[in-house]
Amino acid sequence: MALLENIQYLCGEQGTSVPKLEQSLGFGKGAIYKWEKSSPTADKLQKVANYFRVSLDYLLGRGDIYDVGRAIKEEREDQRLTEKDLADEIGVSEFELSQYEEDIVPLTEEIVNKIAKAFDMSFPALLVKHNLYDGDIHPHFDGDVDAHIAFKKAEEQDAQSEVPDIQTIAAHHDGDDWDDEELAIIEQFKKFVREKRNK
């Protein structure tokens, strides 16, 4: 993405607009839109990057993923792909790919995902294979980072769920020796949960 597109995207993510951003940063009206035709000062770029808490590389669309070039090159060679093959597959020049592989230019998330797809694996799986993955993978997943990540996402979704499974609650009291008062309390609770769920 170009600089202006990145700023517009970040504004959308933050629930603001370019004119509001300009006002917040003390820029003149329309100043950021003028950047399509004239280059902004480094100071102004840094103010925008700081506002959104992103790096200048990210803001300029250069990417912010570093130090994975060796892994990309090794995997490309393991899969017997030439620089030209991989460059064509991900839609960049051979020169640009060589810049990534030599860690001269940081990568964008879009590019690393295209590279991983060309290798028929996820980016985290590429990192694990080449001992660059920073996270811990539970032993239960036997090194399968994709399964581990999917499990963690499901766990987070479950934790955010507010409504308990009423059938599970009801199943636990069926057949047990509950007195009438306890059964009435359970029924009240089930009614309460149903009402919350229907709101």
Only one residue has tokens 């993923």, namely: 65
Which structural domain, as residue segments, surrounds residue 85?
69-129
CB 67 within 8 A of CB 103: yes
Assess if residue 160 is contained within a domain.
no
CA-CA distance, 73 to 88, in Å (whole number)? Answer: 15
Supply the CATH number for residue 26's domain. 1.10.260.40
For 142, the 3-state DSSP assignment is coil
Assess if residue 136 is contained within a domain.
no
CB 114 within 8 A of CB 91: yes
Tokens representing 71 are 């892994």
Only one residue has tokens 């607009």, namely: 17
pLDDT string in tens for the chain (199-residue length):
478 888 998 899 889 999 999 999 999 999 999 998 888 999 999 999 899 888 787 788 777 788 999 999 999 999 999 999 999 999 988 988 998 999 888 888 889 999 999 999 999 999 999 999 988 888 888 889 989 888 888 888 877 775 555 555 544 555 567 788 878 788 888 887 887 777 6
The number of domains in the chain is 3
Assess if residue 149 is contained within a domain.
no
Per-position b or e across 84-96, b if 16+ CB within 10 A of its CB? eebbeebebeeee
Q: Chain-centre distance of CA 144, in angstroms?
A: 19
85 and 123 belong to one structural domain: yes
Assess if residue 24 is contained within a domain.
yes
Domain end: 129, 147, 175, which one? Answer: 129
Residues 6+ apart with CB under 8 A from 21: 7, 11, 27, 32, 48, 51
39 and 73 belong to one structural domain: no
